[in-house]
Structure 1
Amino acid sequence: MLIEKMSDFFTARVEGYDKHMIKNVEGCQQGYVKMAELISRNVTRLLDLGCGTGLELDEIFKINPTIKVTGIDLTKAMLDKLKQKHHDKDLTLINASYFDYEFGIEKYDEVISFQTMHHFSHDDKIKLYSKICHTLKPGAKYIECDYMVIDQEEEDFYYKENERIRKEQNIPDGEFYHYDTPCTVDNQIDMLTKSGFQNVYKVWRMENTTIIIAEK
């Protein structure tokens, strides 16, 4: 099994991405709607990490069309599609890795991510979650919808397979390649808690698509 660089993987699939996520990934269609419902009505500045083509923003803009959104994504082709769909919205789009980009301190009312965090290690995620916590205003929240599993055995299997494949392909540490490494819901909650969030809890789940809220 050959795995691809993250940006190459999504660039090659941008045209069929929206249809695939809505039709083929169980829980995503409903998850986009649910996430939009969970956004506080008084939010004016929103940060969307791994925004892709903006499927979650399609639903959020229906409820709050004047919200100011900063979207960060590694794949320029996806950001271009998002810009085409919502050219009339207050969008700031950044083509970068959200691990490297500086979000700012206490800048955003809320932060969201949808189906993007299940590719990374625990350590990388804890560092990122700490950045998210710092960029949120006091009392604000981070909403994550992601592919999560229940059993630790299942999580361990995916991480071991990822390690094995990366060794076979001689992929250096720190380079982003596409392979799913979902964590358990309990581990996700633990990582967010370790990152400085005061209250972390699961609010919704359909199949493996799960939404967690982390309050600062």
Structure 2
Amino acid sequence: MAIEQMSDFFTARVDGYDEHMIKNVEGCKEGYVKMAELLPKEVNELLDLGCGTGLELDEIFKTKPFINVTGIDLTQAMLDKLKQKHPDKNLSLINASYFDYDFGISKYEAAVSFQTLHHFSHEDKLKLYIKIFNALKTNGQYIECDYMVESQQEEDFYYSENKRIRKEQNIPDGEFYHYDTPCTIDNQIKLLSEAGFKAVKMNCRMENTTIIVAKR
């Protein structure tokens, strides 16, 4: 099984991406709506990690049309699609890795990520969560909707398979390739707590699509 570089994977699928996520990935259609409902009313500045074509923003803009959004994504084609969909919105779109980009300090009332973090290691996630924590204002909120599993055995299987495939393809460490490595819900909560978040809890779960809310 050959795996593709992350940006290439999503560039090749940009045209059918919205329909695929809404129709084929169980829990996502409901997840986009739920994420918008969970955002605090007073949010003016929002950070969206791995924003893609902005499916979660489609819902958020329905109730918060004037919100300022900083969206970060590896794939320029997806950011272009987002801009086409919402040309009149306050969007600052950045084509970069959210692991490398400087979010700033105490800048946002909320941050979100939707189905983007199930490709990375615990170590990478922890570093990212610390950056998100620092970028949020006091009492800020981080909402993550992602593909998560329930057993450690499942998580271990995906991580070992990813390691095996990367070794077979001679993929260097640190390069982003598309392969799902979902964490358990418990491990996700532990990582967020370790990063400093308080009141970290699962809000809902539809099939494997799970929403966790963490408060600063």
TM-score, normalization: structure 1?
1.00
Q: Which residue of 1 aligns with 2:164?
A: 164
Per the TM alignment, residue 198 of structure 1 is displaced from its structure 2 partner at its CA by 1.6
Provide the C-alpha distance between the structure 1 equivalents of 2:179 and 2:145, rounded to a whole number of angstroms.
Answer: 18
Matched with 2:117 is 117
User: 1:207 is matched with which residue?
Assistant: 207
Deviation at 1:195, TM superposition (A): 0.6
Q: CA deviation at 1:199?
A: 1.7
Report how many aligned residue pairs link the two structures.
Answer: 216
CA distance in 2, matches of 1:79, 1:140: 25
Residue in structure 1 matched with residue 105 of structure 2 by the alignment: 105
Secondary structure in structure 2 of the residue aligned to 1:101: coil
Query: Alignment partner of 2:118: what SS?
Result: coil
* Map 1:14-163 → 2, pairs under 5 A: 14-163=14-163
Residue deviations 1:9-46 (CA, integer Å, cap 9, x gap)? 00000000000000000000000000000011110000
The DSSP-based 3-state class of the residue aligned with 1:196 is: coil
Task: Report runs of 4+ in structure 1 exceeding 6 Å deviation.
Answer: none
5+ residue gaps, structure 2, are none
Q: What does residue 4 of structure 2 align with?
A: 4
Q: Which residue of 2 is the match for residue 176 of structure 1?
A: 176
- Alpha-carbon distance in structure 1 between the residues aligned to 2:42 and 2:149: 32
- 2:11 counterpart letter in structure 1: T
| 3-state secondary structure, aligned to 2:16 | helix
Q: Percent identity?
A: 74
Structure 2 counterpart of 1:111, one-letter code: A
Structure 1 counterpart SS, 2:117: coil
Could you list the per-position Cα deviations for residues 155-184 of structure 1 after superposition, in whole angstroms to 9, with x for gaps in the alignment?
000000000000000000000000000000
Partner SS state of residue 46, structure 1? strand
TM-score where L is the length of structure 2: 1.00
CA distance in structure 2 between the partners assigned to 1:62 and 1:92 by the alignment: 18
Counterpart-to-counterpart distance in 1, 2:62 and 2:197: 29
Which whole-Å CA distance do the structure 1 matches of 2:140 and 2:62 have between them?
A: 22
Backbone CA RMSD of aligned residues: 0.4
Distance in 2 (CA, whole Å) between partners of 1:165 and 1:92 is 36
The letter for the 2-side match of 1:97 is S
CA-to-partner distance for each residue in 1:109-153, whole Å, 9 max, x for gaps? Answer: 100000000000000000000000000001111000000000110
Mapped to 1, the partners of 2:23 and 2:158 lie a distance apart of: 24
Q: Within 1, Cα distance between the matches of 2:117 and 2:19?
A: 20
- Return the alpha-carbon distance in structure 2 between the equivalents of residues 81 and 198 of structure 1: 35
- Code of the residue aligned with 1:161 in structure 2: it is E
Structure 2 counterpart of 1:18, which letter?
A: D
Q: Secondary structure at the match of 1:14?
A: coil
Aligned mates of 2:158, 2:70 — CA distance in 1: 31
